[in-house]
């Protein structure tokens, strides 16, 4: 007869749904790209070039320093857009 490990009796905590009054502080690259009206890949290039600040959350285990997922601070994105709006637009040829 095979012995199976006992099932955990601890249920995972439910995360309350975010409300419209408090938008998330960190957003995905896809959401940041949507807000900038550019492609995912163009937004990712901005992040990797350091032109848009990215956030990596710490890893829950000791095998890695951080999680793979790269997030964008929505406030930093808004600040970058505000700075870009202050600059004169480049001429279109």
- Residue 15 vs residues 12, 18, 19, 73: alpha-carbon distances, Å: 9, 9, 12, 20
Is the model's pTM score more than 0.75? no
Quote the pLDDT of residue 68. 76
Tell me, yes or no, whether 18 lies in a domain.
Answer: no
Separation between Cα atoms, residue 93 and residue 83, nearest integer Å: 23
| Cα-Cα end-to-end distance for the chain | 77
Which pLDDT tens digits describe the chain residue by residue (93 residues)? 566 665 656 556 666 665 566 788 999 999 999 999 999 999 999 999 999 989 888 878 777 776 778 899 999 999 999 998 998 876 666
Tell me, yes or no, whether 13 lies in a domain.
Answer: no
- 71 bridge partner residues: 55
Quote the pLDDT of residue 42. 97
* CA angle (91 as vertex; 89, 93 as ends), nearest 5: 150
From 77, 59, 79, select the one nearest 69 (Cα to Cα).
59
Quote the pLDDT of residue 8. 56
Domain of 41 in residue numbering reads as 26-86
In which element (H, E) is residue 27 found?
strand 26-27
Domain count, the chain: 1
């Amino acid at each position: 007869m095979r012995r199976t490990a006992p099932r955990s009796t601890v249920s995972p905590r439910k995360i309350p749904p975010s409300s419209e009054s408090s938008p998330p502080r960190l957003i995905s690259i896809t959401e940041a790209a949507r807000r900038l009206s550019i492609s995912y890949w163009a937004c990712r290039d901005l992040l990797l070039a350091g032109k848009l600040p990215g956030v990596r959350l710490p890893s829950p285990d000791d095998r890695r320093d951080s999680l793979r997922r790269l997030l964008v601070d929505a406030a930093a994105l808004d600040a970058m857009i505000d700075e870009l709006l202050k600059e004169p637009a480049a001429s279109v040829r």
